């Protein structure tokens, strides 16, 4: 009986172990399976996070470039507007003065080409007086960078303007295509010309074209300004007054 019990007990124990051992293997196998799935999920999550970060980086880079381009465009447009405003102001104040003074000279103090325009203007010298100046607007190019420069020099009695230009100001700078043109419709010249030098008459209109040298497109609407000239100013003859009351009276 004892041995049977013992045998039964042994057999029961063996059965218990046989039942328990597979269960342990299943649990162990299940833990390994759970650990493997967690690692895969972590790697997948890291991959997704990496893709998201890369996408965000690309998006931020694109936004930065777009903002920078927009800021540069607005800055260029502001510079173009300023240059156009100064051009209109100067051309509208051009004075009608013959070379050498008097009314017998054949040509006027006005020189115009496609890249440069030189003309006399009356500018305020102080709070109560005005003076005559020669103004030059010229286009300069260096290594693809184009500049529109404004300069001036005093116009003294009996002397034609020389090469001592002062007060140089860069109105525009960048990849621009800038040209001047001239015409006198009432005098019968309806077509535009890029040369007005030593003429016996003044142009009636001056055109300023500002384009993009890279694309060929206009950076601003074409500006056409009429010369508001009423009477001649005789201030270049020797002994004539070119400052103060004389210039003020002719205005």
Sheet holding 111-112, edge to edge: 166-174, 145-154, 130-142, 116-124, 111-112, 196-197
In the chain, what is the straight-line distance between the N-terminal and C-terminal CA atoms, in Å? 143
In a domain, 71, yes or no: no
Q: Identify the pLDDT of residue 235.
A: 54
Q: Identify the pLDDT of residue 248.
A: 38
Contact 121, 249 (CB under 8 A): no
Residues of the chain with pLDDT > 90, as a percent, come to: 29
Number of compact structural domains in the chain: 2
In a domain, 171, yes or no: yes
**Structure tokens of 196?**
């007005």
Decide if pLDDT at 76 tops 80.
no
In a domain, 78, yes or no: no
In a domain, 17, yes or no: yes
174/56 Cα distance (integer angstroms)? 33
Could you say which of 36, 53, 70 is where a domain stops?
Answer: 53
Per-residue confidence at 209, pLDDT binned at 50, 70, 90?
A: very high
In a domain, 64, yes or no: no
Could you say which of 13, 33, 53 is where a domain stops?
Answer: 53
Can you give the residue range of the structural domain that contains 151? 84-249
CA angle 169, 170, 172 (to 5 degrees): 145
**Nearest to residue 172, comparing CAs of 83, 77, 71, 73?**
83
In a domain, 67, yes or no: no
**Residues 125 and 38 occupy one common structural domain:** no
Q: Mean pLDDT score of the chain, rounded to an integer?
A: 76
pLDDT tens track for 107-123: 888 999 999 999 998 87
Per-residue confidence at 146, pLDDT binned at 50, 70, 90?
A: very high
Q: Identify the pLDDT of residue 88.
A: 94
pLDDT tens track for 78-136: 888 899 999 999 999 898 888 765 555 678 889 999 999 999 988 766 555 668 889 99
In a domain, 108, yes or no: yes
Q: Kindly give the pairing relationship between strand 116-124 and strand 111-112.
A: antiparallel
120/85 Cα distance (integer angstroms)? 18
How many helices and strands, by DSSP H and E, does the chain display?
A: 2, 10
**Residues 194 and 97 occupy one common structural domain:** yes
Q: Identify the pLDDT of residue 172.
A: 92
CA angle 174, 179, 180 (to 5 degrees): 140
Per-residue confidence at 219, pLDDT binned at 50, 70, 90?
A: confident
**Residues 220 and 110 occupy one common structural domain:** yes
**Structure tokens of 42?**
């972590």
Q: Identify the pLDDT of residue 149.
A: 96
Q: Which of 119-123, 182-186, 240-244 has the lowest mean pLDDT?
A: 240-244
Could you say which of 37, 53, 69 is where a domain stops?
Answer: 53
């Amino acid at each position: 009986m004892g041995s049977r019990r013992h045998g039964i007990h042994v057999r029961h124990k063996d059965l218990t172990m046989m039942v328990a051992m597979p269960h342990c293997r299943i649990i162990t196998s299940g833990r390994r399976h759970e650990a493997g799935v967690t690692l895969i999920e972590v790697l997948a999550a890291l991959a997704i996070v990496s893709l998201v970060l890369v996408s965000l980086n690309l998006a931020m880079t694109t936004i930065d470039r777009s903002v920078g381009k927009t800021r540069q465009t607005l800055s260029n447009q502001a510079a173009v507007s300023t240059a156009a405003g100064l051009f209109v102001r100067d051309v509208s104040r051009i004075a009608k003065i013959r070379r050498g003074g008097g009314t017998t000279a054949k040509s006027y103090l006005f020189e115009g080409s496609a890249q440069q325009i030189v003309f006399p203007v009356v500018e305020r010298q102080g709070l109560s007086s005005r003076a005559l100046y020669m103004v030059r607007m010229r286009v300069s190019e260096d290594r693809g960078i184009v500049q529109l420069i404004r300069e001036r020099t005093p116009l003294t009695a009996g002397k034609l303007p020389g090469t001592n230009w002062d007060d140089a100001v860069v109105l525009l700078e960048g990849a621009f295509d800038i040209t001047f043109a001239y015409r006198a419709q009432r005098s019968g010249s309806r077509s535009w010309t890029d040369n007005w030098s030593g003429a016996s008459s003044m142009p009636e209109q001056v055109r300023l074209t500002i384009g993009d040298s890279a694309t060929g497109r206009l950076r601003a609407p074409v500006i056409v300004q009429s010369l508001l000239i009423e009477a001649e100013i005789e201030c270049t003859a020797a002994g004539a007054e070119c400052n103060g009351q004389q210039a003020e009276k002719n205005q």
